[in-house]
Amino acid sequence: MTAGFCWEWSKHNSDHALNDDVVIGNYKRPWNARHEAVRLPKGVPKAQFWAHDPNGIEQIGCVYTAQGFEFDYVGVIFGNDISYSFEDGKWTGHPGNSKDPVVRGAKGKFSDLVKNTYRVLFSRGLKGCYVYFLDKDTEKFFRSRMDIPTSASQKTREEQIQPYVNALPLVRIQDLENMSFSDWRAQLEEGWRGEHMRLAGGPFLHDRFLVRAEDASILRWAELSEKLARQSVTSGQVLALLLEEPSPVRNVYDAIQLFQNSEDASCIWTGERLQQRGFDIDHAIPFSLWHNNDLWNLFPVKSSINQLKKDKLPSRQFLITRKNAIVGIWEKYSITYPERFRSEADTFAGQLLLKTDCWPDRLFSVFAEAIEITAIQRGSERWEP
């Protein structure tokens, strides 16, 4: 269970149970443990373990403890820090009802930050989300925007699925294990007759598919990857990649060296000319989300623009307008660091990617798709200058 930050978050006494801070009528629950708490009552997990410790089920998480985690199902208490008025036809923020000192002090941005809080909480459930609204007009607004499934509307939604445009094949690993590589390719080319799953970010390449999470043990996935790659890679190599720990620090040295010595370097997001020593290296997919230092993800940017973007993801439409500039950076990498760039691009977008003439288009398609999926999974804010 999660909630908007509309109740005080009490400090703890290790000799007593957590205080029931969140109170709605007869419903009473404590927040999860505070992050700075050292000594906690017996059985209460620390804040960083709340999301997956069974003992955390009796506490309520806020955006700061829930962000970055996904659950099968999530419950959200929509507080009274923001509400929708049908009479005025707009949202109204209520800073006086918020107990979040960070959000409450954001002048002019309170409503946007609260909306983002609930967007993050709503997106934590992979299979479903249950919401309780304190304000009934706000609940009514959400219901008015929902597609309540009926037998007729469900049929209409199924008819709207367009494979590789707004949906991808949804398969089980055991289904693929009984096919040869040529059979699998034929299945994709002829049109997948099984289940599809709607997905934002299309259109998609025709060699993309989704695997049910419950089937995706890394060992079986490694074995299947070897089979589908016709043994051009071994399951051991795939397993090593899957188990590889992400780099814990930003490593952008090669990118800095390239653009420091370039006379025509420009900001990837604005196109403005860069000074040789007055720029940053931006992780297009923020390092805080992916911990990825691959060259295809590193771009020169004005320091002031980098400060505005921070940990946001570029919007899809804006990304498309910058495609030529992005591809131009990749081409520079492929000339300056050919082995590294080829290896990282192949790992990201498919083996032997750079041996095809259309590799920039394919890499950009996978790159844009990864940004969309990350935005959906992590509830990340979108950005453009």
Q: Are 208 and 228 in a shared domain?
A: yes
pLDDT at 47: 80
Q: Are 308 and 269 in a shared domain?
A: yes
Q: Is residue 108 part of a domain?
A: yes
Q: Is residue 298 part of a domain?
A: yes
pLDDT digits (tens, 9 = 90+) for 110-137: 898 899 899 989 988 888 899 999 999 9
Q: Is residue 320 part of a domain?
A: yes
**Integer CA distances (angstroms), 108 to 7, 41, 82, 105, 312, in order:** 22, 39, 14, 9, 19
Q: Is residue 97 part of a domain?
A: yes
99: containing domain? 2-144
Q: Are 302 and 349 in a shared domain?
A: yes
Q: Are 133 and 18 in a shared domain?
A: yes
Q: Are 54 and 174 in a shared domain?
A: no
pLDDT at 165: 78
Q: How many CB atoms lie within 10 A of CB 206?
A: 15
Angle between the N-to-C axes of helices 359-378 and 323-336, in degrees from 0 to 180, rounded to the nearest 10: 110
The answer to whether residue 210 scores a pLDDT higher than 80 is: no
Q: How would DSSP label each residue in 12-54?
A: P-TTSPPP--EEETTEEEPBPPPTT--S--TTPPPGGGTTT-G
Q: Is residue 52 part of a domain?
A: yes
pLDDT digits (tens, 9 = 90+) for 232-282: 777 666 656 665 555 555 578 889 888 888 888 899 999 999 876 678 999
Q: CA end-to-end span of the chain, whole Å?
A: 36
Q: Are 17 and 136 in a shared domain?
A: yes
State what percent of residues in the chain have pLDDT above 90.
Answer: 29
Q: Which of 208, 243, 278 is the last residue of a domain?
A: 243
Number of domains comprising the chain: 3
The answer to whether residue 205 scores a pLDDT higher than 60 is: yes
pLDDT at 211: 67
Q: Is residue 205 part of a domain?
A: yes
pLDDT at 155: 47
Q: Which of 243, 266, 283 is the last residue of a domain?
A: 243
Q: Are 135 and 12 in a shared domain?
A: yes
pLDDT digits (tens, 9 = 90+) for 276-319: 667 899 999 998 887 888 999 999 999 889 989 988 999 989 99
Indicate the DSSP class of residue 311. Answer: T
Reported as half-sphere exposure (CB side, CA atoms, 13 A), residue 53 has a value of 17
- Identify the residue with better confidence: 320 or 210: 320
pLDDT at 167: 82
pLDDT digits (tens, 9 = 90+) for 146-172: 765 555 444 444 457 788 777 888 776
The answer to whether residue 194 scores a pLDDT higher than 90 is: no
Q: Is residue 248 part of a domain?
A: no
- Identify the residue with better confidence: 124 or 378: 124
pLDDT at 250: 58
Q: Are 183 and 301 in a shared domain?
A: no
Q: Is residue 7 part of a domain?
A: yes
Which residues lie closer than 8 Å to 105 by C-beta, 6 or more apart?
Answer: none
Local structure of 383: helix, strand or coil: strand
Q: Which of 194, 225, 243 is the last residue of a domain?
A: 243
**Integer CA distances (angstroms), 38 to 17, 253, 340, 382, in order:** 14, 38, 44, 36
Q: Are 238 and 263 in a shared domain?
A: no
Q: Are 17 and 134 in a shared domain?
A: yes
Do 265 and 302 form a contact (C-beta atoms < 8 A)? no
